[in-house]
Amino acid sequence: PSHHGWDGNGAAVVPTPMPKRLDGKVAIVTGGARGIGEAIVRLFVKHGARVVIADIDDAAGEALAAALGPQVSFVRCDVSVEDDVRRAVDLATSRHGGRLDVYCNNAGVLGRQTRAAKSILSFDAGEFDRVLRVNALGAALGMKHAARAMAPRGAGSIVSVASVAGVLGGLGPHAYTASKHAIVGLTKNAACELGAHGVRVNCVSPFGVATPMLINAWRQGHDGAADDDADIDITVPSDQEVEKMEEVVRGLATLKGATLRPRDIAEAVLFLASDESRYISGHNLVVDGGVTTSRNLIG
Ligand code: NAD
């Protein structure tokens, strides 16, 4: 039967059920309580995975796990703290018969968006260190402890969420850009080392997705708060803000007619997590509607 909804004669056919691409697999998704991570968790579950959400937001993480059913659980985990990461992996493997098939390094922070924080002339060393610890060290620790669980079984897929700021300059604060380039580099290095153990390591680089992270950054840039050095207080964005943000992103993408959603990032992560990508390792899959290959971002 056709997968396109039409048979050879042009008549509509009943679509075949979607195959479950992570059936029986065990996955950890860091930063899975909301935003892109939440979309990854939901899609993984839909494809038959048992998922552990590892996040610092207990309330949101526990609520999402409860809503998705017994195949999903939550563990409090700050990815920049090695003991937390080790504990999350131990918990996932002990809950699920010693196996870990997929580890998704999605947790990340953008860092302060003030003019001073964003300039190489005045950035704060402490803030730089904080962003690098969560985004870069957090991803490296995830690779370390995931690989320790996966290598003895000779299989596994580690997928990190980097960013187009891990490929191009000028798209985020220096610490964020440095941390995302670090994830792309770590992915290549770890892929070289772990290939011998059957463990694949890849990353996905999104362009702007209208999540709390991006909308709060945008709010700071547009409501005059860019000079205020107060810490970022991330609140749930309104539907209107999401729509406006999506419009801005649509305007920059070369690909027209589609809107970049968290689900689009999750689909790319799913591909790299599943056996369908079994011969792909060390790759950075950019999901950006053509932005990084166009001149649209240049002034
Ligand atoms: P978000 O802020 O909406 O969600 C991030 C999640 O990570 C939250 O649940 C938060 O509690 C969790 N988190 C933060 N620090 C953590 C820590 N130390 N340990 C564990 N969990 C932690 O952000 P998002 O937009 O969904 O971003 C997800 C990933 O995608 C990030 O790595 C981000 O850099 C990347 N990304 C986002 C965009 C975008 O436009 N939204 C673009 C490119 C890349």
Q: What is the pLDDT of residues 149-188, one digit of tens each?
A: 999 999 999 999 999 999 999 998 999 999 999 999 999 9
d(CA 99, CA 117): 42
Residue found by looking up tokens 């939901």 in the block = 42
Mean local confidence (pLDDT), 32-39: 98
Whether 34 is in the pocket of ligand 1, judged by its Cβ within 6 Å, is yes
Nearest CA to ligand 1 atom 36: 163
pLDDT at 216: 87
Mean local confidence (pLDDT), 223-232: 50
Mean local confidence (pLDDT), 216-241: 69
Q: Summarize pLDDT for 74-100 with one digit per residue, the tens.
A: 999 999 999 999 999 999 999 999 999
Whether 82 is in the pocket of ligand 1, judged by its Cβ within 6 Å, is no
d(CA 243, CA 221): 17
Nearest CA to ligand 1 atom 16: 107
Which atom of ligand 1 sits closest to the CA of residue 176? 34
pLDDT at 141: 99
Let me know if 176 is a catalytic residue. Answer: yes
Distance 6 CA to ligand 1 centre (A): 39
Which atom of ligand 1 sits closest to the CA of residue 33? 9
Distance 224 CA to ligand 1 centre (A): 24
47-50 long-range Cβ contacts below 8 angstroms, 24+ apart: 47/20, 47/21, 47/22, 47/23, 47/270, 47/274, 48/20, 48/21, 48/22, 48/23, 48/24, 49/22, 49/23, 49/24, 49/25, 49/101, 49/102, 50/24, 50/25, 50/26, 50/95, 50/96
pTM of the model: 0.93
pLDDT at 108: 98
Sorting pLDDT into bands at 50, 70 and 90, what band is 5?
A: low
Q: Does the pLDDT at position 26 exceed 50?
A: yes
d(CA 36, CA 41): 9
Whether 38 is in the pocket of ligand 1, judged by its Cβ within 6 Å, is no
d(CA 143, CA 136): 11
pLDDT at 223: 54
Mean local confidence (pLDDT), 255-274: 96
> Which of the two residues, 12 and 80, has the higher pLDDT score?
80
pLDDT at 231: 47
Whether 133 is in the pocket of ligand 1, judged by its Cβ within 6 Å, is no
pLDDT at 14: 75
pLDDT at 15: 72
By most ligand atoms within 8 Å of CB, the mutation choice from 159, 160, 213 for ligand 1 is: 213
pLDDT at 241: 94
Pairing, β 26-30 against β 102-105: parallel
> Which of the two residues, 116 and 52, has the higher pLDDT score?
52
pLDDT at 205: 98
d(CA 115, CA 221): 9
pLDDT at 299: 46
pLDDT at 227: 52
Range name among 61-75, 76-90, 214-228 with the lowest pLDDT average: 214-228
pLDDT at 63: 98
pLDDT at 278: 98
Whether 105 is in the pocket of ligand 1, judged by its Cβ within 6 Å, is no
Sorting pLDDT into bands at 50, 70 and 90, what band is 24?
A: very high
Range name among 10-24, 40-54, 59-73, 220-234 with the lowest pLDDT average: 220-234
Nearest CA to ligand 1 atom 31: 108
